[in-house]
């Protein structure tokens, strides 16, 4: 077979056109692709449970799928009930929070006026200018506070349907991916598919464990500091932590606002220190030992992915972009010719770097994952 060698500029033009076309299709199919990808991630998470039902309890594929759906709906209903009850309590305290925040804010204004000789009217002008600039931007912070996954009933319906289809027809999808390639590549393609499935499953499970651990640590910090709604803020921090760097900052701003309105300005300082400690533990212990280094995305492409995800799919895109990049990294590292792209997305690898180990007890030792 004769291959046509194209000039570099022609190749570059084709690549740019392909990227633009792919981005356009992703933006155009947001209402379908966003719930589909979320359903794929959840299907990978529930795959071991469905397989256990089929192999150990001899459930038919359809019964194991519907059982997985029911378990997932129970978990989602529990989360919705938790956030609903917490937000209901929070809404009852809004008048009190507004009064207390106004009092603290006025005291702060008088202190600034006496210390820095800045009139209160000038302070209000500075604040209004800053708020106008903030609100004229993408409005990400406000969107995150009150609307995770800019969706409605249609998103949830599509998500559940896609979850059922992917879990029920996973063997059909696997066979299609394998058979679509030439006969001589079937073995290697099947190996790549199996590795991607295993790594994706481990990554999603690790991500859920990371959310849980960060929520527990943040809850302990906020409870010790006496911040109201510590559990709600902790769970919100754990969920937002899925978004690297930006998520922890957004949750810190929200927690500081609540601490400032319900306590003293000194409490905000301790909250900042607590969040820094949680972030250090998450980055140096939780992430390497729970999620693993092979799917860790470097800061540059994490930030670019967040911006691109928000531009294409809104709030949902900011949550889903990091798992998407991690899955692409897994695929790139296992496909011949794409390994450089996989290394580009990941952290710098040191060949002589030893895995971290922490001895908890005589029989328990934590070791850094691959």
Q: What is the pLDDT of residues 266-320, one digit of tens each?
A: 888 899 999 999 988 887 777 777 765 556 777 788 888 888 888 888 777 877 8
Q: Is residue 188 part of a domain?
A: yes
Low-confidence winner among 2-16, 113-127, 275-289 (lowest mean pLDDT): 113-127
Average pLDDT over residues 30-52: 85
Q: Which of 12-16, 106-110, 168-172, 326-330 has the highest mean pLDDT?
A: 168-172
Q: Is residue 12 part of a domain?
A: no
Higher pLDDT, 91 or 277: 277
Tell whether the model's pLDDT for residue 344 goes beyond 50: yes
Average pLDDT over residues 130-143: 47
Q: Is residue 25 part of a domain?
A: no
The per-residue pLDDT for 291 is 65
The per-residue pLDDT for 275 is 92
Question: How many structural domains comprise the chain?
Answer: 1
The per-residue pLDDT for 254 is 85
Average pLDDT over residues 132-160: 56
Report the alpha-carbon distance of residue 241 to residue 238 in Å, rounded.
5
Report the alpha-carbon distance of residue 343 to residue 129 in Å, rounded.
43
Q: Is residue 7 part of a domain?
A: no
Mean pLDDT of the chain, nearest integer: 77
The per-residue pLDDT for 219 is 92
% of the chain at pLDDT higher than 90: 5
pLDDT band at 259 (very low <50, low <70, confident <90, very high): confident
Torsion, Cα of 151, 157, 161, 163 (10° steps): 50
Closest CA to 238 of 269, 216, 254, 206: 216
Contact 274, 221 (CB under 8 A): yes
Both tokens of 91, joined, read 């809404």
% of the chain at pLDDT higher than 70: 78
Q: Is residue 18 part of a domain?
A: no
Helix, coil or strand: residue 93: coil
Report the alpha-carbon distance of residue 314 to residue 326 in Å, rounded.
19
Contact 100, 262 (CB under 8 A): yes
Q: Is the pTM of this model over 0.85?
A: no
The HSE-up count of residue 163 (CA atoms within 13 Å, CB side) is 27
In which domain, by residue range, is 72 found?
A: 31-348+356-367
The per-residue pLDDT for 70 is 93
Tell whether the model's pLDDT for residue 370 goes beyond 60: no
* Cα angle for residues 176, 182, 187 (degrees, 5° grid): 75
Tell whether the model's pLDDT for residue 92 goes beyond 60: yes
The per-residue pLDDT for 141 is 44
Alpha helices in 295-349 (DSSP H): 299-313, 315-334, 339-345
Tell whether the model's pLDDT for residue 152 goes beyond 70: no
CA-to-CA dists, residue 36 to 166, 168, 203, 213, angstroms: 9, 14, 18, 27
The per-residue pLDDT for 195 is 76
Q: Is residue 103 part of a domain?
A: yes
Closest CA to 239 of 134, 147, 305, 330: 147
Q: Within the chain, how many helices (H) and strands (E) appear?
A: 15, 2
Contact 346, 298 (CB under 8 A): yes
Average pLDDT over residues 210-238: 89
Q: Is residue 13 part of a domain?
A: no
The per-residue pLDDT for 220 is 92
Report the alpha-carbon distance of residue 319 to residue 313 in Å, rounded.
10
Average pLDDT over residues 43-48: 85
């Amino acid at each position: 077979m004769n291959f046509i060698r194209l000039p570099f500029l022609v190749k570059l033009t084709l690549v740019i056109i392909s990227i633009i076309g792919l981005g356009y299709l992703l933006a155009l199919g947001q209402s379908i692709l966003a719930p589909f990808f979320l359903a794929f991630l959840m299907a990978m998470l529930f795959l071991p449970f469905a397989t256990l039902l089929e192999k150990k309890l001899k459930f038919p594929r359809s019964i194991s799928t519907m059982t997985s759906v029911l378990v997932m709906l129970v978990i989602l209903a529990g989360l919705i009930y938790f956030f609903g009850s917490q937000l209901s309590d929070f809404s009852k305290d809004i008048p009190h929070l507004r009064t207390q925040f106004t009092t603290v804010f006025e005291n702060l204004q008088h202190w600034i006026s006496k210390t820095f000789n800045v009139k209160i009217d000038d302070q209000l002008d500075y604040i209004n200018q800053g708020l106008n600039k903030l609100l004229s931007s993408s409005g990400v912070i406000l969107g995150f506070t009150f609307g995770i996954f800019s969706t409605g009933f249609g998103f949830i319906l599509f998500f559940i349907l896609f979850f059922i289809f992917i879990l029920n027809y996973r063997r059909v999808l696997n066979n299609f991916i394998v058979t679509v390639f030439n006969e001589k590549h079937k073995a290697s393609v099947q190996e790549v598919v199996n590795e991607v499935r295993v790594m994706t499953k481990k990554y999603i499970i690790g991500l859920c464990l990371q959310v849980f651990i960060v929520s527990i640590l943040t809850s302990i910090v906020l409870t010790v500091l006496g911040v109201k709604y510590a559990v709600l803020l902790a769970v919100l921090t754990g969920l937002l932590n899925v978004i690297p760097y930006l998520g922890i900052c957004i949750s810190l701003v929200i927690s500081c606002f609540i601490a400032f309105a319900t306590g003293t300005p000194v409490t905000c300082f301790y909250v900042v220190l607590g969040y820094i400690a949680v972030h250090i533990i998450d980055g140096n212990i939780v992430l390497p030992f729970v999620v693993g280094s092979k799917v860790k995305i470097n800061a540059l492409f994490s930030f670019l992915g967040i911006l691109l995800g928000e531009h294409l799919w809104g709030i949902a895109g900011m949550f889903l972009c990091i798992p998407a990049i991690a899955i692409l990294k897994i695929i790139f590292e296992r496909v011949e010719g794409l390994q450089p792209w996989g290394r580009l997305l990941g952290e710098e690898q040191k060949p002589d770097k030893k895995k971290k180990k922490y001895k908890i007890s005589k029989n328990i030792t934590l070791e850094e994952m691959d």
